[in-house]
């Protein structure tokens, strides 16, 4: 029969106030009050995500492409079929990093596209210290403040991304993935080859792949809002409905109908309100 859908009434979702917000970084806290089995498909998003396990008992468990893991993790762009699994997930801090700040915050290349790795593998012993500080307080406001301090410190020491790459990413995001690579290159005065090389080396994904992911993210939220697949395909800039189906299969391992009912999308407006347009 499988695992029943998660009852979101048993999950508290908390977001930080303005003081704990950082450019290109968004945070949300989750506390699961129940003990029923959990099996949630996490929908691909144009960010690298930190899942920080704050529970010392049950803990966070997940499955990606059939392989199991547990504890705090870094979810790269396009992780594939990723599911939060197990008997509840206690408390978890989720941090979404846009590709621009991701390399600085992680202390490594953003190029973990398609992977889910342990936070220990990325931050080493610092990961344990971060978890300990966050677990030492039950206040979400304090947790957000601690996380903002740690992330801000890493951002201050980052190696700057090329301004042209920053522009290319922002144009990709604000156009909802509908700008062509040739148009981006022309705006920058770069060749297509140079744009591809710089964008990929610094953000860990090609410009075309990034545009597809941003466009998919927009389409997924339209589906979740109740729009038909045909309407979403047109409004999101797909050539036709079959191309929308292709991206939904690739990025979410589901059909458009199943994606429209995905529980993770159902709480996006609560967990990630009013995204910045910067």
pLDDT digits (tens, 9 = 90+) for 104-142: 788 655 556 667 888 888 888 889 999 999 999 989 999
Q: Considering the entire predicted model, what is its pTM?
A: 0.85
Output the pLDDT for position 79: 61
Enumerate domains of the chain plus CATH numbers: 8-156 (2.60.120.10), 163-271 (1.10.10.60)
Secondary structure in 3-state letters for the chain: CCCCCCCHHHEEEECCCHHHCECCEEEEEEEECCCCCEEEEECCCCCEEEEEECCCCCCCEEEECCEEEECCEEECCCCCCEEEEECCCCEEEEEEECHHHHHHHHCCCCCCCCCEEEHHHHHCHHHHHHHHHHHCCCCHHHHHHHHHHHHHHHHHCCCCCCHHHHHHHHHHHHCCCCCCHHHHHHHHCCCHHHHHHHHHHHHCCCHHHHHHHHHHHHHHHHHHCCCCHHHHHHHCCCCCHHHHHHHHHHHHCCCHHHHHCCHHHHCHHHHCCCCCCC
Which tops the pLDDT comparison, 108 or 239? 239
pLDDT digits (tens, 9 = 90+) for 148-197: 999 998 888 777 789 999 999 999 999 999 999 999 999 999 999 999 99
Mean pLDDT of the chain: 83
Of 13, 26, 74, 20, nearest to 266 by C-alpha is 13
pLDDT tens, position by position, 6-28: 555 667 888 998 888 888 899 99
d(Cα 147, Cα 140) in Å, to the nearest integer?
10
Determine which of 4-8, 49-53, 90-94 has the lowest per-residue pLDDT on average: 4-8
């Amino acid at each position: 029969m499988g695992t029943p859908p998660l009852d979101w009434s048993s999950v508290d979702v908390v977001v930080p106030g303005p003081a704990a917000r950082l450019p290109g970084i968004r945070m949300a806290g989750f506390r699961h009050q129940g003990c029923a089995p959990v099996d949630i498909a996490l929908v691909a998003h144009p960010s690298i995500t930190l899942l920080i396990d704050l529970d010392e008992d049950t803990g966070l468990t997940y499955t990606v492409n059939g392989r199991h893991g547990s504890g705090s993790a870094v979810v790269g762009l396009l992780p594939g079929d990723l599911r939060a699994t197990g008997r509840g997930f206690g408390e978890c801090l989720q941090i979404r990093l846009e590709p621009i700040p991701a390399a600085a915050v992680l202390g490594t290349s953003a190029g973990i596209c398609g992977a889910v790795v342990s936070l220990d593998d990325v931050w080493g012993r610092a990961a344990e210290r971060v978890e300990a500080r966050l677990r030492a307080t039950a206040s979400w406001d304090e947790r957000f403040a601690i996380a903002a301090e740690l992330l801000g410190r890493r951002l201050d020491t980052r190696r700057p991304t090329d301004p042209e790459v920053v522009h290319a990413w922002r144009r990709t995001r604000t156009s909802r993935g509908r700008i062509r690579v040739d148009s981006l290159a022309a705006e920058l005065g770069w060749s297509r080859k140079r744009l591809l090389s710089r964008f990929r080396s610094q953000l860990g994904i090609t410009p075309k792949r990034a545009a597809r992911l941003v466009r998919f993210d927009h389409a997924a939220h339209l589906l979740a809002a109740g729009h038909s697949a045909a309407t979403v395909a047109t409004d999101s800039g797909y050539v036709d409905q079959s191309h929308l189906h292709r991206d939904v299969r690739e990025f979410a391992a589901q059909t458009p109908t199943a994606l429209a009912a995905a529980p993770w999308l159902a709480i996006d407006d609560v967990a990630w309100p009013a995204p910045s347009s910067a």
